Homo-oligomer: A and B are copies of this chain.
Amino acid sequence: MSSKPTMRDVARKSGLSIATVSRVINFPADVPAETAKIVTAAMAYLNYRPNINGRRLKMTQTSTIGVLVPTLANPVFATSVQGIEQEANANGLTVILTSSEYDPEREMGAVSTLLNNRVDGLILTLANADNNPVVDLLLAEKIPFVLLFNQPSRADIAAISVDNAQSAYDMATAMIAKGHRSLAMVAGQFESSDRSRQRYDGFCRALDDAGIAQKHLVQVRFGETDLVAPLADFLCGPEEVTGLVCSTDMLAIAAISACRAHGLSVPDDVSVGGIDGISVGGLITPKLCSAVQPTQEMGQQALAFLRGLIKGQTNPQSLLLPHHLSDGDSIGDFRRRSSTLL
Contacts and interface: CB of A to CB of B under 8 A. Distances in A.
Interface of A: 47, 49-54, 56-57, 62, 67, 70-79, 81-82, 85-86, 89, 94-99, 101-102, 110, 112-113, 115-118, 141, 149, 188-189, 192-193, 195-196, 220, 222-223, 225-226, 247-251, 253-254, 257, 276-277, 296, 332, 335-342
Nearest to A192: B341
A71 B340 contact: yes
B73 A338 contact: yes
Nearest to A333: B225
Contact of A101 (B50, B51, B86): B86
A341 B97 contact: no
Given A53-B118, A72-B72, A72-B78, A222 B341 contact: yes
Contacts of A47: 141
A50 B94 contact: no
Nearest to A294: B73
Given A97-B97, A225-B337, A257-B332, A53 B117 contact: yes
B339 A225 contact: yes
Given A54-B57, A74-B342, 14 more contacts: A49-B112, A52-B118, A71-B340, A75-B78, A77-B342, A81-B97, A86-B99, A89-B99, A95-B98, A225-B337, A225-B338, A251-B339, A253-B339, A254-B335
Contact of A97 (B95, B116, B196, B276): B95
Given A51-B116, A89-B98, A96-B96, A340 B82 contact: no
Contacts of A196: 341-342
B340 A250 contact: yes
9 smallest CB-CB distances across A and B, nearest first, come from A188-B341, A78-B78, A72-B82, A248-B342, A225-B339, A254-B339, A53-B56, A250-B339, A225-B336
Contacts of A50: 116
Contacts of A52: 116-118
A340 B74 contact: yes
Which residue among A56, A78, A196, A337 has the maximum number of chain B CB atoms within 10 Å of its CB? A78
